[in-house]
Amino acid sequence: MLQEKGWPPPIAGYELEGENGEIIASAEFAWESLKIVFLTDEEMIYIDKFVGWEVRSLVDIIKNPGKNIRLFNV
């Protein structure tokens, strides 16, 4: 679905760096240029670290792609 919408490939296993270059969070998939990140249930503990990003649950995206279709119109 994302490829059909012309999205660039995601970064799998994304690691968000803090100001000093330290890793402060991880995500299953991320699009830095779009500031969109998909987190697994385990990664949801990092939700507050992705300030300014559109954060979505990967499980919710997989279970309900139609519900999240507006996200795909980036």
Write down the domain spans for the chain. 1-30
Give, in order, the Cα–Cα distances in Å from 19 to each of 16, 23, 38, 43, 64.
Answer: 10, 9, 22, 20, 35
Structure tokens at 23: 């890793």
- pTM exceeds cut of 0.75: yes
**pLDDT values of the chain reduced to their tens digit, one per residue, 74 residues:** 677 777 788 999 999 999 999 999 999 999 998 899 999 999 999 999 999 999 999 998 888 877 766 666 65
Smallest Cα–Cα separation from 61: which of 47, 33, 41?
A: 41
What distance in Å separates the CA atoms of residue 42 and residue 59, rounded to the nearest whole number?
Answer: 11
Conformational region of residue 23, where left means phi above 0, alpha means psi within -120 to 50, and beta covers everything else: beta
